[in-house]
Amino acid sequence: MTVQSLARAVILAWGWRRTVLAFGAGAIGALAMPPFGVLPILAISFPILVWLLDGASAAGGGWRTILAAARTGWWFGFGYHLAGLWWVGSAFLVEADRFAWLLPAAVTLLPAGLALFTAFGAVVARLFWRPGGRRVLALAFGLTLAEFLRGTVLTGFPWNLYGYALTQYAWLAQGAAYVGVYGLTLVAIVVFASPCVLGDDAEETPRRVAIPIGAALALMCLALFGGWRVSTAQIASVPGVKLRIVQPDIPQDQRFRPEARDEILARYAALSDKAASPERSGIRDVTHVIWPESAFPFFLIWDREALAKIADLVPPGVTLITGAARPDEPLPGRREPRVFNSAYVIDHQGAITATYDKVHLVPFGEYLPFQDRLEDLGLEALTRQRGGFSAGDRRRTIAIPGAPPVGMLICYEAIFPGAVTSAERRPQWLLNVTNDAWFGFTPGPYQHLHQTAVRAIEEGLPVVRAANNGVSAVIDPLGRTVRSLPLGARDALDADLPAALPATVFARAGHVPLFVALFGLFLALIRRSRPRPPIA
């Protein structure tokens, strides 16, 4: 079967065949994401979407064409997000007796909701649809706009953006320092949708082979630039900073049990003071110890005995940074204290010297929309925190004794491009404390790690990651993993702290380059094509 006959078959597909094609094209596209990284699969997934949108005009024109495009986009997005996010259901099995009944809804409703953005992108693209290569630009414009909205509307969920397919390769990923992952999303759609023109008639798209060749050359230029950037950048280590990252691998169902308190503290102490190498025989040979998110099944600030044990563990000259829930004064008219998902900086005397409260909370995980009403109905967030967690007021850069100022990122705060540093003061490194034990041995922890690494490239900052059960890592400002612990390991990781690079274009300009590119695409799409002169 030739490409042209395949394209015609897809364009003319209708009914359930069209639905299956859209769903399947989206689902196989998810294979381009970590941990699989099958990048060429997008050169199949996106052209099928283009051909399906070509066929939307068969619905009868006008609003029928728009409705057909929306339906096609929704099924494509549903397949993509269902195949890429099925692992979210693992969180509902941690306490299966309470939450397992919600698993089918969670696994399907999240992709169904996210697919609405893909449907919107398909509609926008169809409004600018033109024959030939211009429809590739229309698709890139519509889907990139939709992906940006997906990452920002209703608190946003920019997971598995199409641009992450490119960032799994160090040379291709460096463009994120200039345009961010949303900009690379635009590039990925243009490049991998361009083979669709191979299915066009020669009269409809002259020089059709030139379009995918041009896209491949553009990708090659991106890779050459990235190779130059990686090979010429000099990444030093921060003098005098010796990190120890503890990955305790505490089962998720134990993390909520107060009776496991002593066992958990003992595990942290043992891993923090273990002999990891001849150069670092224990906690006295490091300067900073890092424990993961929500490290304790109790309020550390109220537990003097636990703070005393930490003081006994941490010697002078060593600083502990740990995640912990933080209680605060109740709101007016309330009895229960407000609770924040926080990170503490603790000195050798067990004194808390700095605190950061998580700003971007996880819907349904850390709070419920319409919290009071849903709790009255018997529903609760996965963390089972009555009243939900409260959100911090702003991003803050925190002073750390003996280390450069740090930007704290708790759990999935690290997935938001352009929203990981303080506007008041640029940090010199990012620290992501997280707990991926919710998701076990699934693609989720690997996707989370990868998205965190892309923040390093965008901001020009090293990222240190401490996870309960993986993947803990130290990542340099070029997004390369310097050292890491495997998923599920119970161990401690020693590493130096890479130095920051100067602020990148993306760190200074944010999404402005993306908006400029989208505006340029918009102008190109609304420009009328000049009629071709007749061939003599």
- The tens digit of pLDDT for each residue in 5-31 reads 999 999 999 999 999 999 999 999 999
Determine whether 196 is an active site residue.
Answer: no
pLDDT at 373: 63
Q: Over 50: is that where the pLDDT of 478 sits?
A: yes
Q: Is residue 226 part of a domain?
A: no
Q: Is residue 493 part of a domain?
A: yes
Tokens, residue 9: 């078959």
Q: Is residue 205 part of a domain?
A: no
Cβ distance 121 to 141 under 8 Å? no
Mean pLDDT rounded to a whole number for the chain: 91
Q: Is residue 51 part of a domain?
A: yes
**What is residue 204's three-state secondary structure?**
coil
On the question of a cis peptide bond just before residue 471, with omega within 30 degrees of 0, the verdict is yes
Q: Is residue 535 part of a domain?
A: no
Q: Is residue 95 part of a domain?
A: yes
For residue 340, what is the enclosing H or E element?
A: strand 338-346
362 shares a domain with 246 = yes
Tokens, residue 174: 């460096």
Determine whether 242 is an active site residue.
Answer: no
**Position 377 confidence tier, pLDDT thresholds 50, 70, 90:** low
Tokens, residue 487: 């998923």
**Position 386 confidence tier, pLDDT thresholds 50, 70, 90:** low
298 shares a domain with 387 = yes
134 shares a domain with 41 = yes
Q: Which conformational region is residue 466 in: left (phi greater than 0), alpha (psi within -120 to 50 degrees), or beta?
A: beta
Q: Which residue among 411, 413, 458, 459 is the active-site one?
A: 411
Q: What is the pTM of this model?
A: 0.93
347 shares a domain with 405 = yes
For residues 519 and 488, give the distance between their C-alpha atoms in angstroms, rounded to a whole number.
45
**Domains identified in the chain, total number:** 2
For residues 151 and 65, give the distance between their C-alpha atoms in angstroms, rounded to a whole number.
27
246 shares a domain with 196 = no
**Position 532 confidence tier, pLDDT thresholds 50, 70, 90:** very low
Q: What is the pLDDT of residues 86-115, one digit of tens each?
A: 999 887 776 666 777 778 888 999 999 999
**Position 383 confidence tier, pLDDT thresholds 50, 70, 90:** low
Cβ distance 430 to 404 under 8 Å? no
CATH number of the domain residue 438 falls in: 3.60.110.10
Mean of pLDDT values over 420-426: 93
For residues 368 and 378, give the distance between their C-alpha atoms in angstroms, rounded to a whole number.
12
Q: Is residue 109 part of a domain?
A: yes
**Position 279 confidence tier, pLDDT thresholds 50, 70, 90:** confident
422 shares a domain with 486 = yes
For residue 404, what is the enclosing H or E element?
A: strand 403-410
For residues 90 and 437, give the distance between their C-alpha atoms in angstroms, rounded to a whole number.
9
422 shares a domain with 361 = yes
pLDDT at 385: 59
**What is residue 497's three-state secondary structure?**
strand
pLDDT at 389: 84
402 shares a domain with 264 = yes
Mean of pLDDT values over 169-191: 97
Q: Over 60: is that where the pLDDT of 378 sits?
A: no
pLDDT at 95: 66
Residue with tokens 């998923």: 487
What range does the domain containing 423 cover?
237-500
Q: For 508, how many CA atoms within 13 A lie in the half-sphere containing its CB?
A: 6
Q: How many CB atoms lie within 10 A of CB 84?
A: 25
287 shares a domain with 196 = no
280 shares a domain with 153 = no
Q: Is residue 506 part of a domain?
A: no
Mean of pLDDT values over 265-275: 94
163 shares a domain with 18 = yes
CA 296 to chain centre: 25
Tokens, residue 52: 């399906």
Lowest mean pLDDT among 36-40, 267-271, 390-394, 443-447: 390-394
136 shares a domain with 258 = no
Q: Which residue among 196, 242, 293, 413 is the active-site one?
A: 293
Q: Which residue among 147, 196, 358, 459 is the active-site one?
A: 358
pLDDT at 215: 94
For residue 130, give the amino acid letter: R
pLDDT at 531: 47
The phi, psi pair for 530, rounded to 5°, reads -75, 140
